[in-house]
Amino acid sequence: EMLVARAPDEPSGGRLDAVSLASGDILGLVSGQQIRIRPGQHAWTWEREWVGADRLFVVGEGRLALTTAPEGSGRPPTIAFSEDGGVSWSEPVALPVAVPVERLVALPDRLLAYLAGRDVCGSTLLESLDRGTSWSPLPPVATLIDSDGVSVAEGFLDHAPIATTSDGVVFGSSAEYFPVGSECNYFVTYPSRSDDAGRTWVAIGAGVRDGARGYLPIATTARDDLVVGAFFTDGPVTDVFLEVWLFRRDAERWVEIGVPRLPSGPLLYSGFPTVAAQVSADDRLQLTTSWGIVRSVAPLR
């Protein structure tokens, strides 16, 4: 079901970040503007402007994080936190690396921030053990192994945390690349997991090349099941469809959920996408896309 259609007159028409809150509100961020929709409303309400605001994340139950982007400014990104659904925010904390935050995930005892330059090659994984007050970089991990400890890929590897479970497992993607100046030539991307907060990464599926069908983690449910997006093309390579699968950890089996659709047809993504996905407390999947915000009509079962 379409929760909110993307309005053409949203501020500056920029990328929309949106998260669902326990109150039923949807909090959004677009082009530095904080916006909100409350239950029963059909249009965004403007709340405030953030200079340099970039991304919006859920980092634990009832906790939000908002990041700024330093690209081109020479300044590091900052992170501010909210414990009341975005009504008030903490003082921003500057990170030690001047690269934008692309992913921010919460583990039971720490936060992980994945920073990747949009104009440079490579990434950095930061860790905070004090709820985001201070941050330190993790050493690069130059080896991806399989479940038996055998090397799958070595050298330049980009490990991106995407989703976490309540028992501390990180699911994400690991990509082989080779730097050419400021550009990255990516070769193969693997779905992966880390059981030690980003110190080692294990491939959990076959690697795929850009433009091919690929399976990547996109979220976890309240039951700690893994939600995987299967990306595939049907026609032009720029037209990418998303098929949703669920891995039931208790039953150790895969369940096909299906292809999210609008009345006009399947959801389309541009290029090989980074999907913004969130699962509610009742296990309904929410996707924020260029078309608007779409949610599954039933829990993922």
- Which stretch of 77-86, 109-118, 147-156, 205-214 has the lowest confidence by average pLDDT? 205-214
CATH architecture of 1-138: 6 Propeller (2.120)
For residue 128, what pLDDT is reported? 98
- Which stretch of 60-64, 103-107, 185-189 has the lowest confidence by average pLDDT? 185-189
Q: What are phi and psi of 147, to 5 degrees?
A: -65, -15
Pairwise CA distance, residues 150 & 31, whole Å: 44
Mean pLDDT of 83-106: 95
Annotated domain spans of the chain: 1-138
Pairwise CA distance, residues 175 & 229, whole Å: 16
Residue identified by tokens 């959990």 is 204
**270-289 per-position pLDDT tens digit:** 655 678 899 988 899 999 88
For residue 120, what pLDDT is reported? 72
pTM, entire model = 0.91
CB 77 within 8 A of CB 54: yes
Q: What are phi and psi of 117, to 5 degrees?
A: -70, 140
Mean pLDDT of 231-241: 68
Edge to edge, what strands does the sheet with 183-194 contain? 151-154, 143-145, 201-203, 183-194, 170-180, 157-164
For residue 69, what pLDDT is reported? 83
| CB neighbourhood size of 280 (10 A) | 17
- pLDDT at residue 56 above 60? yes
Residue identified by tokens 């949610």 is 295
**147-189 per-position pLDDT tens digit:** 999 999 999 999 999 999 999 999 999 999 988 877 888 889 9
Q: Which two tokens stand for residue 34?
A: 């904080």
CB 116 within 8 A of CB 101: no
For residue 208, what pLDDT is reported? 83
For residue 129, what pLDDT is reported? 98
**7-24 per-position pLDDT tens digit:** 555 555 577 889 999 999
Torsion of CA 51, 36, 276, 248, to 10 degrees: 140
The one-letter amino acid at 45? T
For residue 292, what pLDDT is reported? 80
CB 288 within 8 A of CB 27: no
Closest by Cα among 78, 173, 86, 91 to 126: 78
pLDDT band at 118 (very low <50, low <70, confident <90, very high): low
Mean pLDDT of 101-112: 97
Cα 281 to the chain's mean position, in Å? Answer: 18
Q: Residue by residue, what is the 3-state secondary structure of 140-163?
A: CCCEEECCCCCEEEECCEEEEEEE
